[in-house]
Structure formats: structure tokens, C-alpha cells
Amino acid sequence: MKQAIDSSAKAKENPPAELLVAMTGKASSAKAATGDKPVFDYIATLPQPQREIAERIDALAAETLPGLQRAVKWGMAYYGVDGGWCFSSGAFVGHLKLMFIKGTELQPEPPVTPIGMGKATRGVELASVQEIDEMQLTSWMKQAATMPFVGGKKI
């Protein structure tokens, strides 16, 4: 009984994100903010398996990109370097989308063209952590870091 009470208190503290089926402008109601903590807080609200996938994506980004910058924008985690954004990670019903802002310039080009994310954005949809091809994702992360997107609205 005590464990159920503790879980309930934890759920009120970090309520799970309400996940959308498809892109509609923002992935969750997470508030826009820059820094590591807002991204870690966003990831902590995700249900499984999206949380496990997001945690691994975040860890790969931290291991791969020196000077990694994080932010929450449009209800998703954004990752960048040198003051620009390279890719984002957003949880949806049944999967997590990892989207590269200049994805059409990556080799090989990621297979998914997300809706509402810009003509050059490409990515992958991951339904489980086992689907992560770490070698390919880190290659794309390194490539994306050579061409961060610096324009657009600042938060």
C-alpha cells in the first residue's frame, strides 16, 4: 500500500506527458526553456517506452557532441551546438521521433519526413530502445553538428 501512495505522489509531482498521435505543432505541453534541467524534466514525464528511448537519445547526444546545448521548444527536446539547433526528440503515441533540422543534407538521408517540421527536416521513428542504431544515429548527430540551424525564433 505504501508503494502505491509513493507512486501516486510521484505522478502528481511529474505527471506523464499527454502524447499526440501525429505532429500538430508541438509534441507536448512542456514549457519552452533552455538548459539541461528542462530537458531532463521533460524526459522524466514521458511514459515508457518513449522515456527509455529519449534517455538513450539524450545520452548518445551527450557522449557524441562536445559543448552540447539543450532546450525544450514546441513541447520537444532540442539539441544543439555553437548556438544553433541540430536535432529534436519528441514523444508521440507509439513512438519517439528523432528529427534532424537539416536532415536532407545528411548521408544517408534519414527515412522519415515529419509533418509540420520544415522541408529539410528528416528523421526516424523509434518504437523501442532496441530499434536504435547507435552507429547511424551518432553519425547523423556528428554531421548535424557541423551545420547547426541558427535562425528562427529564440526562446
Instruction: Look at residue 114 in the predicted model and tell me its pLDDT.
Output: 86
pLDDT of the residue at 151:
64
CATH 3.90.1150.200 fits 17-145, yes or no: yes
pLDDT of residue 24: 44
| pLDDT at site 28 | 65
pTM metric for this prediction: 0.80
DSSP-derived 3-state class of residue 130: helix
pLDDT at 98: 97
Compute the distance between CA of residue 123 and CA of residue 133 in angstroms, rounded to an integer.
13
Residues of the chain with pLDDT under 70: 1-28, 151-155
pLDDT at position 6, please? 38
The pLDDT > 70 percentage for the chain reads: 79
C-alpha cell at 131: 530499434
Please name the residue ranges forming H helices in 67-145.
134-145
pLDDT (0 to 100) of residue 79: 98
* Predicted pLDDT at 44: 95
- List pLDDT tens digits, range 81-122: 998 999 999 998 889 999 999 999 999 999 999 887 789 999
